[in-house]
Structure 1
């Protein structure tokens, strides 16, 4: 029975796309705790971008490296499996991310061996257990904000994608894929940081103070989105390349039928 299911090309393709989607989303969540300087990474001087009187540099969360890929995968799945396929995969991914952080939470509370605590002293890490806890123990606000942003971004992506496709038909793949990604990334970029570092702390902290001031939140949001905008545009040829591979794999007739059915899902 399982062998027969896996012989079906459309089912096998969905499994492959889903696996890549989930893996990228989960990795992006884990590495997203780190803030990095894009300019310094490439040995460049800060760009000092002036927006509305404020000076911004490309200081971003490491998760932005993968989120554009996640949203492109969303559009590919949307193209062939429809909005129901994307919604199912999005909620499943959110559940798996939550499960992963529950496991992290439990692992952090395991009592470390003395050897583990001092194992990286010579590498400049005096307490490996504390380092482990800081990396994997992201605050609950960050996790909640990230999941909210992810689900909202996915739903916005699906809605925008289908609206554009209804107007343009099968033509202009770049417009519906890139356009829906740009809209959803805008939502994702601002929601996650605003909830995690400004709105959330105001609600839950006794003194009502945010973790980050609003100008810092806006700074990271803006440069994150500018980066995602540029990457989404640059990845447009990749979308056509992936479409070409899928069309050849499925066969043009099967692919056309799947896309027709997907539009009604």
Structure 2
């Protein structure tokens, strides 16, 4: 049985894609507690601007956005060859493992810290309390976790739906339209939901602030979706080379029939 699985190229490809998808989602959630300046990353000083009446906005983003664009590329690839049921299945697995990971993080935070050495072991590096640092890195707020997970699931389901609606209308043509179009729609919803749950419900932000920051975040995600469009073609080309034209054509047809 295991030899048949390991020798079947479509199965091996799915295992690789699913593993990368789940790992990428988990890593993005883990590093999401860090905020960074996109302007400084690009070698420019932040220049605050206003949007919808909200002043002092800059491109301050969570580090998780470094990985999420790749996640939606992977969604489109899995959708193209294995269908929406496969995307939903690996999305549920990703959410379950993220929940498990955060449960383990909170357990690790709660166990008594070793005080004779570990607590002050990094004082020379500027970290006087390792327990506080550990809690700050891994102890993300519950509303942020809930918002991120709900936004991820809703965006995934929406991405699948839009992708197949476009593909039904265009057939095998215009890969860029269904891949980029589905990502643009799902990322807009994702950007709003996570801020609404984490900060409107969790911290009572105003609607004005939620919408303004959602649009700032979405502009980055939309730009990255366009930039990464050629990656879809590159990956599909490599998959066709790996599996063969007949196999990939059969997989795409089965993916559409399994909607």
TM superposition score normalised by structure 1: 0.93
Deviations 1:185-224 (A, max 9, x none): 11111101110111234xxxxxxxx2x4444433432221
Instruction: Name the structure 1 match of 2:31.
Output: 31
Deviations 1:24-63 (A, max 9, x none): 1111111111222111233312244443344532111111
Partners of 2:206 and 2:134 lie apart in 1 by 27
Deviates more, 1:106-115 or 1:151-160: 106-115
Partners of 1:214 and 1:119 lie apart in 2 by 44
**Matched-pair contact (CA < 8 Å) for 2:109–2:135:** yes
Partners of 2:37 and 2:214 lie apart in 1 by 14
Partners of 1:220 and 1:40 lie apart in 2 by 18
Partners of 2:42 and 2:172 lie apart in 1 by 39
Partners of 1:246 and 1:68 lie apart in 2 by 20
What's the Cα RMSD here?
1.4
1:227 aligns with 2:239: no
Give the unaligned 5+ runs of structure 2: none
Partners of 1:46 and 1:216 lie apart in 2 by 19
- Within a 5 Å distance, the mapping from 1:1-265 to structure 2 comes to 1-55=1-55, 56-114=57-115, 115-201=117-203, 210=204, 212-265=205-258
Equivalenced residue count is: 256
**Matched-pair contact (CA < 8 Å) for 1:61–1:224:** no
